[in-house]
Each structure stands twice: as C-alpha cells, then as structure tokens.
Chains A and B, each alone.
Chain A
Amino acid sequence: MREKKPSLWLRLVSLLIYAYIYIPIIILIVFSFNTQKLNVRWEGFTLHWYEVLFNDANIGLATRNTLLIAITSTIAATIIGTMAALALQRYRFPGYTLIESALYIPVIIPEVVMGISLLAFFAFIQFSLGLLTITLSHISFNIPFVVLVVRARLHGFDKSIEEAAKDLGANEIITFWRVTLPTILPGVLSGALLAFTLSLDDYVITYFTAGPGSTTLPLRVFSMVRFTVTPEVNALSTIWIFTVFIMMLINQLLTRSNT
C-alpha cells in the first residue's frame, strides 16, 4: 500500500508544535555562546561561559556527586529490578496482584510525597543525610521503572529456550548467564538508561534527602538561577541536553536492533 503524504495543513501544525517545544531550548543553547551576560540580545560568539563553568569548583563537585549517585543507583536498581521482573514473570504466588501493583505505586505518587516520606524515614531511623541517602532514595524510585521496562521486554519471552539450555546440559546458573540474560539484555539496558536519566536530573527527591556537601547538579542549578538565569547555566544546560540526547540515541539504537 502506498503511504499517503500528510496534507499541508497537518504539516504546518506539526511544524508549529515542534517549534513550540524546541524554540526555548534553541534559545538557551544560542545564548550559552553569547558574549553578553543577560539573555536579551545577541552580541557576539564566545566560549567564555564554558570556561567559567569548567573552572567552577562547585560545579565540578556537583557533577562528580551526580555521576556517582546516578551510576551507583542505576547499577543497583537495574540488578534488583531485573530480578523482580524475572520473578514476577516466572512465579505465581498468593498476593501476586498486590505485590505487582505495590511495585508501581512509586511511579504514580507525586515525587514530593515520596521525597517527604523518605526524609521522614531517614529521620526516624536517625540516618544522617548525605550522598548515601540520596543514592538509596534514587535506587528506590528507579526500581519500578526498571521493572516496567524489563517486564515489557519479557512479555512474549519463550521460556522453552531456558528449558532447551538445561536440556543441552546447562545448569541454572549457566542458563541464566548464557541464555536468559543475553536474550533480555536490550530490555535491561533500556531500563538502566532510563534509570540513569531519571537519577541524573532528579531534583525533588534529591532535595529532600540531600545533606551538607552532597549537592548534585540539579540542586546546584536551582541555587544558581534563584535570581536570574546566567549564561553559565545556559552552558551547563547545553552540555546536559547533549548528554541526554546521546543517551536517548543509544537507547533507540538498542531497541531497534532487537525488533
């Protein structure tokens, strides 16, 4: 069947929608190269703000913290989430539906509520706030997302391939590493990437669970723009946008290579 071309009208509307989404971002990127300090008028091209950014010790620390939290919480959430997804796929037990729905509640409830509850919890067990509490919180809100993504991937997983592996002489452990994991790997990586992205730009939950000296990039940016948006923040945001964009591309490629 021949594909129908969209009408002129439809194309125009689409263009407007894209413009609506992307113009603010483009302006932000453009002004990150602007010699003027105020985001009002274009004066000339400079890389000065990037230089300022790279020499800012606070930003450096915040970046280090953010990456540390994101990487650690992604690894932990991916392992736990994948195991949970496999268990939900494989076993039926009393209370299955309850446990299944309970897993997704953190996705639905407002982040503020989650942040407050975590703060209250850490206070209750008298755990001092810092990098560790942020990481633990990120792990907890990332698990449901990993489970969601991996389960979607497991849907239609042919469990006879695991039986085939055992039939051919593999025990449970070899079967998992050589057959199950490689088969679901694209889903696991997608889940991990999602967790990483969510952790990277989380503000609300991090705000509630951060302590002194554990500032992350989103927290830092918010404190920088409290009065006005500076070109330095524009530069930081630009780098950020590109990082996320590249990760999305990788995710796209991963998903495509497996359909």
Chain B
Amino acid sequence: MSEFAVELRDVVKIFPTPEGGEITAVNHINMQIKHGEFFSMLGPSGCGKTTTLRMIAGFEWPTSGEVRIDGHVIGRTPPYLRPVNTVFQSYALFQHMTVFQNVAFGLEMERIRKDEIKRRVGEVLEMVKLGGMEHRKPQQLSGGQQQRVALARALVKRPKVLLLDEPLGALDLKLRKEMQLELKTLQEQVGITFIYVTHDQEEALIMSDRIAVMNRGKALQIGTPVEIYERPTSQFVADFIGETNFLYGTVRFVEADKASVYVPVLDSEVIGLATAGLTVGQKAVISIRPEKIRISDKPILTKNCFSARVTLIAYIGSDTRVSVDINGQRINIWEQNKISSLDTNIYYRENQEVWITLFPENTLVLPEE
C-alpha cells in the first residue's frame, strides 16, 4: 500500500470554449490525500472542484500533470477500471430500475454471484437506512432517500476512494445538517477515503479531516479545519472561511513570527502574526475575526488598542453583534452573552465610546491581494 490514497501532481486542465478560446479550469494543483481521510475541496462555484474530481474519477484527463491512485499513475484508464466510485451531484439514478437494481448494478458488472449480490445490497441498504425500499423506483423516493440510494450504489462496490460532488446540495437545510453527521459517521465506520466537494464552508469545517480551499483553479491552502480557520495564509481564505475584519496598510517591520503594519485609517501600527514571506514595505492586510476582538471601557494594552464609537448593536441570543467605528473604518465584533441577565445596562449602547483590543496573537498579517 502506498502512502497516499490519491495524489495530484501539478495537474492542469484546460478546456476549449465554444468561442474558440481556452479556459483553465484547474491550474497546477498538488494534493496528497491519505488513506481513510475525509478530505474536502471547498471553494466558490466555478473554481474547478468538479473538474478535479472528474479527473480522479476518469471522466476527464489532465492536460498536464499526473493523477496517482494508491501510488499508481492512473493515466487514461477508463472510469470503469478505476478503484474509485462517485456520488453525483444530480444523483444520476437509473430511473427505469428499482432501488435494488440500482445498487446491484455495480456488482453485476463485477460478475458477482446472485446470492452474494443480494446479501451485499441488503447490507448496504441497511447501512444507509433504506431497508424495505428495495422495490421502489427512484421517482417514488424523497430527495434525501434518493441521495442515500446514490450513496449505497457507490459504497456497495467497496471502492478505495469515494468521490462525492456536493451530494447534499439539493437537500433542505435541516436534512442537510442531519446528513452531514450521518455521512461523517458512515465514513468512519467503513474507513473508505472520502473526497468531498462542497461550496459550503460550514459543511467542510464540520465534516473534514482536511480541507483544500480552492479559487480560480488553484488550491490556495490545504490544512485541517482549525488551521484553515485560525491560520489562513491568504486574504481569500481568510475572507471565504467564516467572517473577518480587514484593515489595509504597509508592513513596517518583520521579526520572527510577528509583523507590524502601519494602518493609515488608525494612524497607528498594528502588530500581528506574520505569514511566511512578508517583507518590509509590502502592502499588507490585517485580518481579525469578530469573536476575537475585546471591547472594554478603558484601554488594556499600550499597543493594538484603539478608541472607537459603537454604531450598531444586534442582540441575537447567543451573541451580541457590535459594530464600532474608528475614523470611518467599521469593525464588527461578536460578544458572547455569557451572563443571563435582563439588565440591558450590561450590554453596550449605540454611540458609546469604547476601547477595542486586537490581541497580536489573534491578529494575522496577510499579503494584500
């Protein structure tokens, strides 16, 4: 067994456009996906997630670069000879077949004995909670159930890698949340490597062992959910995952893992954690998440602490969302409501003068894009 279940080396995919031009759907992507990993590709629509997945499945061939499955260079091997299976975005169920026939199809292709097929189909249908639905046609099932058939149909093949292209995209929010947990449990149970495509960042954070954040055909950052959220290495990733505040400026000095940025709107320097490769004089952006900013009545640090005026208060139960203004720069802050009180005086009020602190260890300095 090789070290990685799937490996993409410098993969590029260029499509011709109908107008005679070219579009680079995937632009020099490198990924190493470990055995048994729940790996997600996350990015806005059109960033090349589906194309990447289709190159692993064998529906597209890379223009250049190399796809390896379990260590073997897969080249132009057709889909039906690859040890991977796909759960399609549209489910792609065979409408003229029953649930049983749909799931059994892949096993029939392997020429497995009838009784063995029956046993394995029954088993996998139990696993996805579709026991007793064998004889229904896909049109007679709800969206969630159809999704499970698609899943069962791929899982029954016992692939080395399961590819899932926004499998929950068509479900309503509540069902989606249920299925997220169920899919995650299922993956741990069967131990198959999952490569999961989604444009929903919360979904990726909840389910994944590691995430590749993609934009415009590039994998900008690959890491665990915590790494991606807490230590984004680019402005795009910081912006795309969760919410954040940006302050623009110029790098004044870099020292070890810290950097100082002069921010004109604050007329002050802000110190934060430096991303690799920052140089003095470079345009940079400060990124700090709303839940990591401290509000106080008095200054608590000599640096990274600024006087501000509260402009907006929104009480949302678990949190209070406070917007403050510094010289026309708006900053969003989320305060957790840790105390249960009806006394409105414990909350901030509009037009109140406060101090906000950007703790350097919570503040990131990123190159400006």
Contact = CB atoms under 8 A, between A and B. Distances in A.
B79 A167 contact: yes
A183 interface: yes
A169 B92 contact: no
Nearest to A162: B92
B88 A163 contact: yes
Interface string B46-64: 0000000000010100000
A170 B154 CA distance: 13
B253 interface: no
Interface bracket on A: 10 to 19
Contacts of A179: 94
A163 B96 contact: no
Contacts of A174: 109
A85 B39 CA distance: 40
Interface in A159-182: 160-161, 163-171, 174, 178-179, 182
B80 A163 contact: no
B153 A168 contact: yes
B94 A169 contact: no
Nearest to B89: A160
Interface string A169-209: 11100100011001101000000000000000000000000
Contact of B92 (A160, A171, A178, A182): A160
A163 B85 contact: no
Contact of A167 (B85, B93, B94, B95): B85
B147 to A, nearest CB: 14
B264 interface: no
B131 interface: no
B75 interface: no
B90 interface: yes
B157 interface: yes
Contacts of A3: none
Nearest to A160: B92
Nearest to B163: A167
A163 B79 contact: yes
Contact of B96 (A92, A160, A170, A183): A183
A168 B85 contact: yes
B108 to A, nearest CB: 8
Contact of B57 (A161, A165, A167): A167
Contacts of B154: 167-168
B44 interface: no
B116 to A, nearest CB: 15
B109 A163 contact: no
Contacts, number: 62
Nearest to A170: B109
Nearest to A164: B92
A174 B80 CA distance: 11
Given A161-B93, A163-B79, A183-B96, A169 B88 contact: no
B157 A168 contact: yes
Contacts of A169: 80, 106, 109-110, 157
A158 B80 contact: no
B96 A182 contact: yes
B359 interface: no
Interface in B150-184: 153-154, 157
A209 to B, nearest CB: 39
B197 to A, nearest CB: 14
B281 interface: no
A70 to B, nearest CB: 28
Given A179-B94, A183-B95, A183-B96, A164 B109 contact: no
Given A174-B109, A183-B95, A183-B96, A167 B80 contact: yes
A179 B94 CA distance: 7
A158 B109 contact: no
Nearest to B159: A167
Given A160-B90, A183-B95, A168 B105 contact: yes
Contacts of B94: 161, 164-165, 179, 182-183
Contacts of A166: 59, 78-80
Residue of A160, A164, A178, A182 contacting most chain B CB atoms (<10 Å): A164
Contacts of A167: 57, 79-80, 85-86, 154
A168 B93 contact: no
Contact of A164 (B78, B88, B110): B88
Nearest to B88: A160
Interface-centre pick from A160, A168, A183 (highest chain B CB count, 10 A) = A168
Most interface-central of A92, A158, A167, A182 (chain B CB within 10 A): A167
23 contacts: A158-B92, A160-B92, A161-B93, A161-B94, A163-B57, A163-B59, A163-B86, A163-B92, A164-B86, A165-B94, A166-B59, A166-B78, A167-B57, A167-B80, A167-B85, A168-B85, A169-B110, A169-B157, A170-B105, A171-B80, A174-B109, A183-B94, A183-B96
Interface of B: 18, 57, 59, 78-80, 85-86, 88-90, 92-96, 105-106, 109-110, 153-154, 157
The 5 A-B residue pairs with the shortest CB-CB distance, nearest first, are: A169-B109, A168-B106, A164-B92, A160-B92, A166-B79
